Amino acid sequence: MTLSLPELEIQLLRLGPAERAHLLERLIESFDKDAGVERSWVGEALRRESDVKAGKSRMVSGDEALARIRASLA
């Protein structure tokens, strides 16, 4: 038996937060046809994390990052 979209929505919203988050991740992944892009972003995130841990880079707040970008564009 196939559920209608409204029935499916009701059932899904009954799931716990972790289950809904997992489902959301899977749904978003289903739109990304190029798995290579995801791998590249993960690699970049890991490289940046390594740079911060090694002291090559430092983290800044989102506000500071936006201020720097705005200043560079002015």
Which three-class secondary structure string do you get for the chain?
Answer: CCCCHHHHHHHHHCCCHHHHHHHHHHHHHHHCCCHHHHHHHHHHHHHHHHHHHCCCCCCCCHHHHHHHHHHHHC
pTM of the model: 0.46
What pLDDT, on a 0 to 100 scale, did the predictor assign at position 52?
Answer: 95
Looking at the structure of the chain, the number of domains it has is 1
Q: Residues 44-54: what's their mean pLDDT?
A: 95
The pLDDT value given to residue 29? 78
What pLDDT was estimated at residue 44? 94
Q: How confident is the model at residue 38 (pLDDT cuts 50, 70, 90)?
A: confident
Domain that holds residue 47: 5-73
* pLDDT(26) > 90: no
